[in-house]
Amino acid sequence: GGICVEDLLHGLNEAQREAVTTTEGFVRVIAGAGSGKTRALSRRFAYLVNEIGILPGNILCVTFTNKSAGEMRQRIHNLTGDNDTGYINTFHGFCVSVLQEDSHAVQYPKSFLVLDNSDIDAMLKIIYEERGLTLRNMTFGKARDMIELRKTFTEKDYYLDMIPMSLAALKQKYDDAVSASDIIFYGYLYQERKCFGLDYNDLINFSLYIFRQNEDIRLKWQKRLEYIMIDEFQDIDALQYQLMEVLCGHHKNLFIVGDPDQTIYTWRGADVRYLLDFDKAFPQAKTILMMQNYRSTPQILSVANSLIGRNRSRIKKDLLPTLPAGAPVVCHHADTAQAEAAWIAEQIGALTARGAACREITILYRAHYITRTLEEVFIKEKIPYVIYSGIQFFGRMEIKDALSYLRMAAYQDDLSFLRIANTPRRNLGQRRIEFLQEYAAQNQCSLYTALRRTIDHDVFKGTKAAQFISLVESFSSGQEGRPISEVLSAILNESGYEKMLRTEGSQERLDNLAELKQSVYEYETSCGEECTMEHYLAHVALFSNGDAADIRDKVKLMTVHAAKGLEFPYVFLCGMNEGIFPSRKTNSLEGMEEERRLAFVAMTRAEKALYLSGAGGRNFDGSPRYPSRFLLDIDPALLSFTKPPREGLIAEARDYIALSSRWLKEDAQRQPLAVGQRVKHSIFGCGVVVDVDAAKAAHIVQFDKIGTPRAISFRAKLDKC
Ligand code: ATP
Ligand code: MG
């Protein structure tokens, strides 16, 4: 049974009530973190259903992640008592519903396949093999980006024109393609179509296409979706915006909420201007502001305000506390990453001793590789934890591969053999492995022994099996006494494994390997006499056999991006170092402001207590590690330092930050190229600058091989030629 209107409006302030009860027309809520936007949005859903009598199936409620969609569904179910919760989904999830109903309009079956990155890579592999391309032509990562770019940011209708093409026509385009990027692009469209596959981008593009081409279908959906509500509107991108415009075109009841200070997806095409200019796009729109924060203590809010106040391109607004004073925000600078992790474990111990549950504690970080040190300490200290949105460190592909190489050197076991014999590619594919398996079964030996004995067989002609054997041989003997960290580095180098990752452009995987080497090194310096390879392998096996994640009373670990919209009683924001957070990939002033917004999102997740930590020591490349500029941004009077930083450290860090900011500024002020300049782009090839769009910070380039001119951001590299 439903809840009455008093209950629905209970626990809402004046602005929230207005947001809930203003059901008709265009409504925009702009408000800070923790001000009750999402609460208002879900109450509004219940209000529409319980008070106005709208069927849940006539409401579309868009969230940013699947996780928040799930939570919202639960909340709506509790509020309305109805099992039918309507369309509560991400944009992509909603498009799946549209296509399941109407994909016949593009001659796709209901049982189309939604493709993920590994599916896309498998298709790329086929294309590369068919057309003799190598990763030197384009890495898979770049190819995926290029495909996305050609599907998204090109002339609006360019990709949509390909949607109705027949399989034969796509095949023809693929066969006719000459440049690597055309071959890959059309080859991919052909492969996709062959299996009725749709990637994430297609889900939205195909839905848009169907709505544009079929008035009946468009009207059906427009009429069905009487009310549309969108959370986290600051991160909407151009395609999603177009979709929204179409969907609200009939009833014109659109409710959006967002916070410009929490825009963290511009790198993926999000544009905060859709939120800021909403009143220009829909002049009849009503805007509601919410000022109070209900989530965090005043201490946490002052720190967050102090940080975000450093951003230049923003509309000033402070988060006003409603909760009573709490604990001060703690800041800890450890000597090493291990010491930082140990400190966090110690604080967790203190919290749980005072009655906090592990599940109330969340650790946030900028990048996945940070978890390794934490995981090691947590396992040692028996702190239960679960990693969200990411694979546990020792379960990651490249870590397993690297350890398999070590195990291959130590044991030559079949599991390791199967994992790495053909990684990187040595032409030891399925057929040859089957040959070895047969031989090994008949002769009761390991696969590796089988390979050694049959190496002269014809079947291994044209393979790199012999090199593989000499690699394993050279590492399986005469290595006693050599530090394991050295063996690991050497084997990753000589096997070509690292080179493979470099050519694939897998920087994150390389970072993880660097982190693994660091962990081996630490193991060696701490274990004294018994530091053999076998010992080490047994030691790490403990880490890699982690149980499948479950969410009972455990400390949560996740990236800041994954924590968007969520809240936790106790938050540790760790790895607050230059080069980690802000990420060392940050290469523009706007990028730096986005990093700062990301740090702001992280801090504003905390309800009762916030701990900020970083570590000294060195980076992968040997440079000294400095405290994050985001710590230095905060008024020190607002922080409780565990101990005074080393003499001179802050001054050194400031020098370093000033220097790197100067580089960013020089980059930003780089003069645009002159109109008429011939240029070369890594994906689109040669062309000529026909215009400069200063507002968009982009060159408009007419490429030789592409019909319409394209806008290319100043940030992208255009070589003069
Ligand atoms: P974010 O920008 O981080 O997504 P938000 O604006 O969506 O934040 P909510 O998650 O809706 O904020 O609310 C933050 C917290 O405050 C929640 O725990 C919510 O239950 C609580 N809250 C919201 N409104 C009120 C209110 N009027 N009175 C008391 N508590 C409230
Ligand atoms: Mg929210």
pLDDT tens per residue across span 226-247:
999 999 999 999 889 999 999 9
Residue from 28, 37, 151, 556 carrying the catalytic annotation: 37
Distance set, CA 265 to CA 235, 560, 644 (Å)? 6, 12, 36
Type of residue numbered 687 = G
Catalytic residue among 192, 226, 232, 376: 232
Annotated binding site: which residue ranges?
31-38
Q: Please give the annotated binding residues for ATP, written as ranges.
A: 31-38
Residue 480 known to be catalytic: no
Instruction: Examine the residue annotation and report whether 38 is marked as an active-site residue of this protein.
Output: yes
Which protein residue's CA is at the shortest distance from atom 13 of ligand 1?
Answer: 36
Measured in angstroms, how far is the CA atom of residue 231 from the centroid of ligand 2?
7
The answer to whether 515 and 372 are in contact (CB under 8 A) is yes
Annotated catalytic residue: which of 43, 295, 605, 625?
A: 605
Active site residue 37: yes
Alpha helices by DSSP H, 155-259: 156-160, 167-176, 180-194, 200-213, 215-224, 238-247
Active site residue 677: no
The pLDDT, as a whole number, for residue 459 is 93
Q: Ligand 1, atom 27: nearest CA belongs to which residue?
A: 12
**Residues with Cβ < 8 Å from 412, sequence gap 6 or more?**
446, 448, 449, 472, 476
Q: Is the CB of 97 under 6 A from ligand 1?
A: no
Instruction: Please tell me the predicted confidence (pLDDT) of residue 552.
Output: 67
Q: Is the CB of residue 13 below 6 angstroms from any atom belonging to ligand 1?
A: yes
Average pLDDT of the chain to the nearest whole number: 88
Going by CA atoms, what residue is nearest to atom 4 of ligand 1?
565
Span from the CA of 43 to the centroid of ligand 2 (angstroms): 13
Q: Does the beta carbon of 620 lie inside 6 Å of ligand 1? A: no
Angle at 649 between CA 643 and CA 654, to 5 degrees: 125
pLDDT of residue 175: 95
Q: What's the pLDDT score for residue 571?
A: 98
90 in active site? no
Ligand 1 atom closest to the CA of 232, numbered from 1 = 4
Residues 127 and 284: their CA atoms lie apart, in Å, by 51
Residue 98, pLDDT score = 92
Residue of 9, 295, 601, 604 to mutate, ligand 1, most atoms within 8 A of C-beta? 295
ipTM confidence: 0.99
**Low-confidence stretches of the chain (pLDDT beneath 50):** 1, 545-551
State which ligand 1 atom lies nearest to the alpha carbon of 262.
2
Q: What angle do CA 626, 627, 632 make, to 5 degrees?
A: 130
Ligand 1 and 260: CB distance under 6 A:
no
State which ligand 1 atom lies nearest to the alpha carbon of 16: 27
294 lines ligand 1 (CB under 6 A): yes
Tell me how far the alpha carbon of residue 361 lies from the centroid of ligand 2, in angstroms. Answer: 19
pLDDT of the residue at 324: 95
Residue 41 Cβ < 6 Å to ligand 1: no
Catalytic site residue from 16, 90, 234, 262: 262
What pLDDT is stored for residue 547 in this prediction? 39
Helix 507-527 to helix 484-494 angle, to the nearest 10 degrees? Answer: 160
Instruction: Decide: 9 in ligand 1 pocket, CB within 6 A.
Output: no
pTM of the model: 0.75
**Ligand 1 within 6 A of CB of 33:** yes
Residue 111 burial (10 A CB sphere; 0-12, 13-18, 19+): exposed
CA neighbor of 102 nearest in space, from 230, 248, 209: 209
Mutate to test the pocket of ligand 1, among 12, 13, 38, 67 (most ligand atoms within 8 A of CB): 38
Got the DSSP string for 83-113? S---EEE-HHHHHHHHHHHHGGGGT--TTPE
